[in-house]
Amino acid sequence: MSITPSEISAVFYELSRLEQRHMDWLKGEGVPISAMIEPDPILHARIAMQAGFFDQVLPEEAGADAFVFLARDRDDQPADLVAWRPRAGAIARWCGRAALLGEDAVYGPRLAAEGALPIFSSPLGWLKAGRHGVVILDHHRAASFLEGLGPYQAEDEAHRAELRRLLTKPAPRILVPRRAELAMEVA
């Protein structure tokens, strides 16, 4: 069974609003208030993460606090939920559909130098920039999606090197039939 964008949105809006302590922490890290609420608010949940995916857990169950974002696709439709645990440096997707956080804005105006698309290594940088740019969630799918949409803007030289490694699609495997196989096909 495939989950629909409206079901993803419904699950998202059932999550908890940020508490004042969450907003104070984000504000202290340099996140503008507008980035906490627009285009969709940052919400909060207790989650269990495993292998890049997460599930919401009940308050009495073992789990960890996380910020949750509604990831939208290039058509601005809800595509996935993304959980972020900043202190652990962990990020996970709910259903694995989103390749990027910020995908809905890829084709929007680019405010960076030379019209570059800012790519951030974590949601914190993305939030500090007012959600202008993207965070890579799935580098294989992101490489295909971002191909030809550069230039890109990295956070620093180390991030630039990482992006070069992550966004370079491996050459496809191309086979050449042996002469005997060609002979059989012709006969």
In a domain, 11, yes or no: yes
In a domain, 32, yes or no: yes
In a domain, 133, yes or no: yes
In a domain, 156, yes or no: yes
How many structural domains is the chain composed of?
A: 1
- The count of other CB atoms within 10 Å of the CB of residue 16 is 14
In a domain, 184, yes or no: no
Nearest alpha-carbon partner for 95 in 185, 12, 184, 169: 12
For range 38-46, the mean pLDDT: 94
CB 74 within 8 A of CB 80: no
Residue 170 is predicted with a pLDDT of 65
- Establish how many alpha carbons lie within 13 A of residue 138's alpha carbon, considering only the half-sphere containing its beta carbon: 19
Residue 111 is predicted with a pLDDT of 65
* Predicted confidence (pLDDT) per residue in 4-19, tens digit: 999 999 999 999 999 9
CA distance 137 to 98: 7
Query: Who wins on pLDDT, 146 or 13?
Result: 13
In a domain, 185, yes or no: no
Question: What H or E segment, with its residue span, contains residue 100?
Answer: strand 100-101
In a domain, 106, yes or no: yes
In a domain, 70, yes or no: yes
DSSP assignment string, 106-144:
TTS---SGGG-EEEESSHHHHHHTTT-SEEES-HHHHHH
**Domain span holding position 107:** 5-174
